Chain A
């Protein structure tokens, strides 16, 4: 028996390979050497301790934004608002980071918690609108992204600072940065947030698969009528799903605010951490482990790509194209599934 499970694992792997292959073809067409290009990508991501550190640093927010999207999808909701939830989480964490003077044991958890709460609140609004008024969460979350972007800029410029374009750096007591980790990786910006992200993946897995609350959330996600019939509160679960999803996204913002940068600046556009989270969740098949692996791949591609122009002369845009191709192949998984089953049948 060729288990469904095997097919489900094969699909993302084949998608990635096809994406890389198409990337190679495109490089060839435009006159670049794909072997050199991918070699540069590899060294750019894992070539030495610094690159490895930077790759892991990039993976961190991707795990959390991926979890946010995946969690919502598992409960039947499409949270396009992860981007905005990342923004409010980022601002909230930095705000707490610069505004207080506290011992680390209180300050850091407080800043992290603030980010989670801000993201959760940003998820609560579309959640309650969906639960009580039936407003589609996609529309609300898209709009909430813009509100988050411009509200964040306003707060940075006029509330946290007096008309400056970036906040002061956060107090060291609120920072996730680690001299030890940085020292091990030739002063990359790798920080303790990676542990938070991995822990949160564990939290999502446990919550969804092992708790009664997770049972309700999944049940409502699949069939609201049957859930209501079985005595679950549909609206409570919708709101809760968006709140938890938003909290994951808010934490992704904290990774940037408390870890990578240590400040927040006025942004002219989206960071794409949230939007990439959609792709990460898709590639990871909405499971906690899948999201961690997919985030790892995305981080690798993003950081490794930085090395491609200098070493192999391949423009970074091309890496964006390769990532896009991988997503397309994942999205058309139906096609790949069909081909796998075809081969399997003929092999018999």
Chain B
């Protein structure tokens, strides 16, 4: 069998770290080949080497059996390699067609022949079942559609090998199904696909073979038909991984958080939380299940003091914390693992160490009389880095340089370490790999067992079912029912999340 792409013994170094070492990747024509690895394992680096954005220190690349030197993305394009980045590179105000032809426009007497371009785009779109409207503006179409435009962009440039970087991270379940269909029709037409992912379910579903990278090193390539998710996970992480989180039954005690008749508006001034009631007790994890946009974010921001509550009250123990400043809320014993770790959780340009004291820098022993004590700060940071297994060259590295999973572990370390009474965990494992997810789940359960109250917000039903001791279903700004995970299943939860109150509501 001839390989369309061969990357042999690739090594790529950055100052201080080896991002790739001794990695072999061989892709057959017409296959979907998964590239599996934890966050920060070096998948993106390897693909950037293939796409010509980085030059490897060692190793060789062959395209269709011929040795090549890919010095920049244009060379990669000419060799038929196309890449769909995780973050799309589209001009919002341009149409689909304009974005696709950008840079290689068909010309007619010095002007862009947009008619011809549209026809070509339409043909391509139909051939692969992509179903995009060539005349629509990018800003008017859904994220799933935008991704298809990115795929079309590579096809238009004659790509034979498509690299898809975590393509499902931004898609809804329905869109994922459609994308899988598109991938199948692409390989049927003779294209080859490299799928970068850390989601085992997807690999089992669509891929033919899978190459695993762990901590920058190539572990090997396996046939998907001969393996199973458990084996893949342990190959990726380097140890046994358990999927269902083990925990003892909860032992809830006194009520820590109680919310009564809460109303919160969003930025546009629309009521998002509409008379919500909720209690979280010491020693239990309450999971909020719901479809995105039913007021969950507003609820959490209101508790954390980041958003004004219109009416109602939020109580922690006997203290009313409604509309206190974020600092006062923190001081009263609340920790918050925010949904958007880049926007809220970290100052990316600060070193990891300084991020570890983002809320406590003004207290002893991190400062005294307004003067920072960096020795103590970095000592603490190093402790947290060790305890929470944050993989970073050192505590002085900027947070920006860490992978998503390690950034999240740093935040969780910081938030948990303050010994709060209430931990708000908003999508704590979004975009993370199984190893990191397992770790974070274990930590949250540990904190529960120490008698803390945990409020979990997640859009992953699996996570809600696994972790919660009690599930509160949120719909249209209210908690419409409360169930125990053992008394329900994903179907019933799904129905409730769509607004159907079950017959035997287990509400309190």
B370 lies within 8 A of A229 (CB): no
Interface of chain B residues 326 through 347 with chain A (CB within 8 A): 326-328, 330, 336, 338, 343-347
Task: Give A227 to B359 CA distance when docked, in angstroms.
Answer: 9
Provided the pairs A1-B15, A2-B15, A229-B338 are in contact, do residues A212 and B361 lie with their beta carbons within 8 angstroms?
Answer: yes
B326 near A229 (CB under 8 angstroms)? yes
> A225: which of B328, B343, B362 is its contact (CB, 8 Å)?
B343
- How many angstroms from the CA of A4 to the CA of B397 in the assembled complex? 12
How far does the Cβ of B368 sit from chain A's closest Cβ, in whole Å? 9
A211 located at the interface, meaning its Cβ lies under 8 Å from any Cβ of chain B in the complex: yes
Q: A335 interface residue, CB < 8 Å from B?
A: no
Shortest CB distance A249–B (Å): 24
Verify B358–A3 contact, CB threshold 8 A.
no
**Residue of chain B at shortest CB distance from A2:** B15
Distance in angstroms between the alpha carbons of A228 and B340 in the assembled complex: 14
Decide if A230 is an interface residue (CB 8 Å cutoff).
Answer: yes
Question: How far, in angstroms, from A4 to B401 measured CA to CA in the complex?
Answer: 14
The answer, yes or no, to whether B350 is at the interface (CB within 8 Å) is yes
Return A232 CB to nearest CB of chain B, in Å. Answer: 8
Within the complex, the shortest CB–CB distance from B256 to chain A, in Å, comes to 20
Question: Which one of A55-63, A104-112, A190-198, A215-223 is at the B interface?
Answer: A215-223
Q: How many residues of B contact A (CB 8 A)?
A: 29
Closest to B304 in A: A229
Give the chain B neighbours of A4 by CB distance below 8 A. Answer: 15
Contact of B370 among A211, A223, A225, A227 (CB under 8 A): A211
Interface residues of A in 143-188 (CB under 8 A from B): none
Q: How far is it, in angstroms, between the C-alpha of A210 and the C-alpha of B359 when the chains are bound?
A: 17
A227 to B55, CA, bound (A): 37
Residues 226-247 of chain A, each 1 if its beta carbon lies under 8 Å from chain B, else 0: 1111111100000000000000
Give residues 343-394 of B contacting A (CB, 8 Å): 343-350, 354, 358-359, 361-362, 367, 370-372
B8 CB–A CB distance under 8 Å:
no
A227 lies within 8 A of B372 (CB)? no
Asked whether A226 lies within 8 Å of B358 as measured between CB atoms, the reply is yes
Contacts of B16 in A (CB 8 A): 1
**Complex Cα gap A1–B15 (Å):** 6
Instruction: Identify the closest chain B residue to A223 (Cβ).
Output: B347
Task: Compute how far the CA of A316 lies from the CA of B5 in the bound complex, rounded to whole angstroms.
Answer: 61
Find the residue from A213, A216, A223, A229 having the highest chain B CB count within 10 A: A229
Complex interface: chain B residues within 8 A of A213 (CB): 370
CB closest residue in chain B, given A214: B372
Interface majority SS (helix, strand, loop, mixed), chain B = loop
Q: How many residues in A have their beta carbons less than 8 Å from beta carbons of B?
A: 25
B330 touches A231 (CB 8 A): yes
A140 to B358 CA separation, bound complex (whole angstroms): 31
Min distance, Cβ B125 to any Cβ of chain A, angstroms:
38
Cα–Cα, bound, A216→B359 (Å):
10
Given A223-B347, A226-B347, A229-B306: A212 in contact with B367 (beta carbons within 8 A) = yes
Decide if B350 touches A219 in the complex (CB within 8 Å): yes
- Contact status B358-A230, CB under 8 Å: yes
The answer to whether the Cβ of B325 comes within 8 Å of any Cβ in the partner chain is: yes
Q: Are B344 and A3 in contact (CB under 8 A)?
A: no
Residues 14-35 of B contacting A (Cβ, < 8 Å): 15-16
Chain A 332-346, CB-CB to B under 8 Å as 1, else 0, gives 000000000000010
A227 in contact with B347 (CB, 8 Å): yes
Pick the contact of A226: B330, B344, B371 (CB < 8 A). B344
Most buried by B among A228, A233, A345: A228
Q: How far is the CA of A265 from the CA of B313 in the complex (A)?
A: 62
Interface members, chain A 101-146 (any B CB < 8 Å): none
Question: Are A222 and B370 touching (Cβ within 8 A)?
Answer: no
| Cα(A1)–Cα(B372), bound, Å | 30
Kindly state the separation between the CA atoms of A269 and B102 in the bound complex, as whole angstroms: 47
- The smallest C-beta distance from A299 to any residue of chain B, in angstroms, reads 31
CA distance A222 to B350 in the complex (A): 8
Q: How far is the CB of A226 from chain B (nearest CB, A)?
A: 5
Within 8 A of A (CB), among B289-305: 304
| Set of chain B residues within 8 Å of A222, measured between Cβ atoms | 347-350
Chain B residues with CB below 8 A from A230, complex form: 326, 330, 358-359
17 contacts between A and B (CB under 8 A): A1-B15, A3-B15, A211-B370, A211-B371, A212-B362, A212-B367, A214-B372, A215-B372, A216-B361, A218-B350, A219-B347, A225-B344, A229-B336, A230-B359, A231-B328, A232-B327, A345-B55
Measured CB to CB, the residues of A under 8 A from B are 1-4, 210-216, 218-219, 222-223, 225-233, 345
Beyond known contacts A216-B361, A226-B345, A229-B304: 7 more, CB 8 A cutoff: A2-B15, A222-B347, A222-B350, A225-B344, A226-B346, A231-B326, A233-B325
Pairs A-B, 7 closest by C-beta atoms: A231-B327, A230-B358, A229-B344, A231-B326, A222-B349, A223-B347, A225-B343
